[in-house]
Structure 1
């Protein structure tokens, strides 16, 4: 059965209307069929490689080397010797972090990976084979975790709910079958944006946006699991006031295929990535409510500079500096991408990456 056929069957079984978060979950993660379950190459710098998008570790190894300095500090402060990465992708970041943590003599004992994609796990195993048995894979979070946790572009790939405002009421947007294709359809719902300064928060008719219960539930679950250590998440997104600004009428839902972006998740289903920006205020509150403290929140550029990427640039080639510049430039990844850090409420510390330019007050 193809993925499209499988989703049509799911819509029929649900009475003809499927919530968008369920559609997104199937499009990305349906076992053996979804985008992240297939064999297509996803990560790379050029469409000629057959890839769909590039992430920071593929762009420059200096990303992982700078990030390793933050992990090393967290390991020293907390006494944790394990690192757990969620959604390790191609394994590029893991390789960079392991090499740099060893160079820093940080005392890394185990590098553990949690990834839903069996296909990506195999690629990670190939890439990290030289690391031996220090690297292993977890099928789920353990009941208790003493580790430094890292997630790069993980939260944006978690299924979101869509809601639409018609000028009078908010409705939940789902997916229906139309012939052999898919279409959006709205139905009555109690779902609302989390930030409403007035009855409808100044939103104009036709506004569509996202809410993130699955991503926030993930952070809350991690909070209850993380007994000792710290967690750092890097992703594109905004604080709540910016995310739900009335001028952001179309939301942030976006698809990527062949290094081109489009906003239609209902076509080429299973052949392209589907993402939504992160509401970092909701992420922070989910962690705090479950027992974590926010160590800091800042732009990727500030974070990497605090972690010493400028020093790492010394002695690199012009081409290497150009690629690293994309990690820092405001019009590239430097400003759109943010970093948020957490630690158990009982053991906060002054994290290196948030030394200057912390924006926690904007959450």
Structure 2
């Protein structure tokens, strides 16, 4: 990439420290690191990365009572999200005979609060696995009334049981970028450029799952998200897994018309495609290839319970009935969860069972497993 394509870093102290850390990483690696390494540092470098830093991230508006925010997730939009999801989790807990709920990437603790209220005595433990110390502190304050039930971990135990939930977790896992010039594929990595960074492509044997690409295509592959699912499969001895995120089945993900890939950044409720800007101050995400997630789980021993869009899943779990009992403003907010032009279609849900398969109520109607 030309020098004009390099982006300066922010002047803030934390961002400057993070940029210096990444530049040291690049130098130690011989002048180039894969984008997945860059993304991991930008998001998760201890005390400096976007998720590990103290800056507020979640909120309905760019500026709110807690300071600036960059995006909003379903639990912040409406508490009916957690109440509907709880119906599916309650069924899974009962069927699997377990009493522990595991949440990955709990954000502000909004979903945990909703699930703890809805599930009550049906769970004995609520285990949060989160790499962000600053977010864990926010969660602890919000969930103080359940002090004896909630636990925080930075990694999973070697063996565990229970029901796992992850809302917008897979999209924040580092991805590798691949670029196609019409003749050959290259891996897109990052090099230092002055005080900032620039992209640089290098030859690679890596390939996306589908190769029907046009010259100039850039896309992502997801080894870390797949490794996460593989770890769950290996260590979850009895239970179920429900993952909610934005994404597509493989045929849509790697369609030639999506030649620019899905990598996106979020800052102050605005989206942009430039991950080399404002490093550490904005989110970096990629849509999920749900076919890869399903195949990985299946090959590792899990059973796919179903796959559908968020609208069908939440309606199957009783959201419509919950909305009937809500006020008009509450209904308007909850409608965003299922509206096709908002979260209803872009967001998908995939479920797995560790152990005996069961008919998960969230996939009773609208299951699209056949598209994976």
Matched ranges for 1:348-359 at <5 A: 348-359=357-368
- Post-superposition offset of 1:181: 1.4
**Helix, strand or coil at the partner of 2:179:** strand
2:54 is aligned with 1:54:
no
For residues 87 and 211 of structure 1, the distance between their equivalents in structure 2, rounded to whole angstroms, comes to: 21
Shift of 1:177: 1.0
CA distance in 2, matches of 1:52, 1:8: 25
1:121-177 alpha-carbon deviations (Å, 9 max, x no partner) = 100100000112100011211111110000000000000000000000000000011
- The whole-number CA distance in structure 2 between the counterparts of 1:294 and 1:146 is 17
Aligned equivalent of 2:46: 31
1:143-222 to structure 2, matched below 5 A, reads: 143-196=158-211, 201=212, 203-222=213-232
In 2, distance between residues paired with 1:5 and 1:305?
A: 48
Q: How does 1:98-113 map to 2 (within 5 A)?
A: 98-102=116-120, 107-113=122-128
Partner of 1:64: 82
Deviation at 1:113, TM superposition (A): 0.3
Q: Secondary structure at the match of 1:333?
A: helix
Hey, what's the Cα distance between the residues in 2 that align with 1:167 and 1:117?
41
TM-score by structure 1 length?
0.96
Question: Which one of 134, 142, 145 corresponds to residue 119 of structure 1?
Answer: 134
User: Unaligned regions of 5+ residues in structure 2, if any?
Assistant: 1-15
**Which of 255, 265, 268 does residue 278 from structure 2 map onto?**
268
1:86 aligns with 2:104: yes
Whether 2:366 is the aligned partner of 1:361: answer no
> What stretches of structure 1 of length at least 5 have no aligned partner?
none
Q: Aligned partners of 2:153 and 2:109: how far apart in 1?
A: 15
Aligned-residue CA RMSD in angstroms?
Answer: 0.8
Per-residue deviation, 1:315: 2.6
Look up the match of 1:298.
Answer: 308
Q: How many residues align structurally?
A: 354
Greater alpha carbon shift after TM alignment, 326-335 vs 311-320? 311-320
Query: 4+ runs of 1 displaced by more than 3 Å?
Result: none
